[in-house]
Amino acid sequence: LSSSSAASDVYKRQELRDKRKEHRDNAFGALKLTAREWPEVGCLHLDEIIRESDVDLRIRGSLILRTIAPKGGAEAWDLITWSLQDEEVRVRRNAAKTLTVLADVEPRVAIILVESSLGENDRGIRNSVIKALRKLDIQSPRVVQMILKGASDEDLEMRKACAVSYTHLTLPTKRIV
C-alpha cells in the first residue's frame, strides 16, 4: 500500500464519519460508486461501518449492501447477515432488500438468509422475504419447508404468498408427448 493510498484511505474514513451532512453524503456516494466497481473495497469499508455505534452510519452503510450483494462474495454475505441482525430496523430493512438479488446470484445463501428472516415482524422486511421466497427454487426441500412454515404464519400476506407457492408445488406438470 503506497503512502498516498494509505492517506487517501484515512481521508475516506474521516469523511464517512464527518458530522457535516454534505461531507457524509458525498463520502457515501463515492463509497457506493467504488463498491459497484470494486465490491471487495466496498466490503472493507462496510465491515467497519456496520459495526459502528452511530445508527446513521449503519443505515447509510446498509444502503450500499445491494451494490455489493451480486459480486461481493462471502464478505458481502457476512455483512448482509450481520445487518439482518442489527438492532435498528432500518438497517435490517435495507439488508432484507438484498435477498432478492441473492436469490438470483447465490440461491443457497439466499435460502439461509430468508429462512433466518422468516420470523421478522417488520412489514418491510417481511415483504422482502416474500419477494425473495418467490424467486427461490420451489423444488428445494428447504424452500418447501419454508413455504409450509410460512403458510401457517399469522401474517396474512405471508400466508397468501406461501399458499400461491404451495399451489405451484402441487400443480401437475404438463407432459409434452
Long-range contacts (CB closer than 8 Å, 24 or more residues apart) made by 11-18: 12/45, 13/45, 13/48, 16/45, 16/49, 16/57, 17/52, 17/54, 17/57
- DSSP 3-state assignment of 41? helix
Contact (CB, 8 A) for 65 and 43: no
- 118 phi/psi in degrees, rounded to 5: -60, -35
Q: How confident is the model over 38-48, as pLDDT tens digits?
A: 999 999 999 99
CA dist list (Å): 118 to 38, 94, 98: 31, 16, 15
Residue the block writes with cell 438470483: 104
State the cell numbers at 49.
Answer: 461501518
pLDDT one-digit tens code per residue, 109-139: 999 999 999 889 999 999 999 999 889 887 8
Confidence class for position 2, pLDDT limits 50, 70, 90: low
